[in-house]
Amino acid sequence: MNKATRQIVMATGNSGKMREIVELMAGTGVEIVAQNRLGVIPTEETGATFVANALQKARNAAKQTGLPAIADDSGLIVAALGGDPGVRSARYAGPQATDAENINKLLDALHGVASRGAHFHCAAVFVRDAADEHPLVAEGIWRGEISAASHGSGGFGYDPVFFDPELGKTGAELTRSEKNSRSHRGQAIRDLCRLLLAECNGSGAAR
């Protein structure tokens, strides 16, 4: 991104993700615009990795708007399940699955299993244009374990069964700022913002 760039499109419909990145980029002179405000039609997520899916979303938004774009993709990885649900986390119990259905499927799959270690993984990417061959890529990991039952009412997705042993709480029992400071997404977005700021300031860290 050169210094003349003023707008970046964020390839998400998730207002929580938008809020976080807008806060992190405050004061840089860069305006982050949600893709739905620009009429972007979202793309399918068919990649085999979080990075591939994030790039697919970012390139799609850049192609339709002509602007640089940011996207992220994340999911839950459970060691005892060979890495499932992984990139299929949102669709684990079926294409239109609700969070409750995904959680029930996960708890059933882990019924009687003693080894319950898991982590969330997030990839956050920035492309200068749809064909950018040197995207900025940042990744974050949040380690924990899958509890036997749901606890808490905050967050989304698998948060009620994702237990953070250091905090002694599930993701759904954390405040928004507690979760942002620990989470895979918070880490990846903060790192991506650092790379972006370095690029804006011309330090050459980007390429």
Out of 159, 164, 173, 199, the only residue in the binding site for ligand IMP (CB under 6 A) is 159
What is the per-residue burial (b if ≥16 Cβ within 10 Å, else e) of 187-200? Answer: bbbbbbbebbbebb
* 157 closest CA partner among 98, 84, 104, 93: 98
Structure tokens at 58: 């970012």
132 carries an active-site annotation? no
DSSP 134-154: S-EEEEEEEEEEE-SS---S-
**120 lines the binding site for ligand IMP (CB under 6 A):** yes
- Residue 24 and residue 3: Cα distance in Å, rounded? 18
Out of 75, 140, 144, 186, the only residue in the binding site for ligand IMP (CB under 6 A) is 75
**68 lines the binding site for ligand IMP (CB under 6 A):** no
Q: Which is nearer to ligand IMP, 74 or 199 (CB)?
A: 74
Q: Judged by CB under 6 A, which stretch of 109-117, 144-152, 155-163, 196-204 contacts ligand IMP?
A: 155-163
**21 lines the binding site for ligand IMP (CB under 6 A):** no
* Beta carbon of residue 129, minimum distance to ligand IMP (angstroms, whole number): 23
Out of 58, 67, 76, 136, the only residue in the binding site for ligand IMP (CB under 6 A) is 76
* Beta carbon of residue 14, minimum distance to ligand IMP (angstroms, whole number): 7
**180 lines the binding site for ligand IMP (CB under 6 A):** no
- Please tell me the count of residues contacting ligand IMP according to CB under 6 A: 16
Task: Judge contact between 70 and 44, C-beta under 8 A.
Answer: no
- Residue 10 and residue 102: Cα distance in Å, rounded? 26
Strand 69-78, strand 7-10: pairing: parallel
**65 lines the binding site for ligand IMP (CB under 6 A):** no
- Residue 78 and residue 76: Cα distance in Å, rounded? 7
* Beta carbon of residue 125, minimum distance to ligand IMP (angstroms, whole number): 12
* Catalytic positions: 73
User: Site residues (CB under 6 A) for ligand IMP?
Assistant: 73-76, 89-90, 102, 120, 155-159, 171, 183, 185
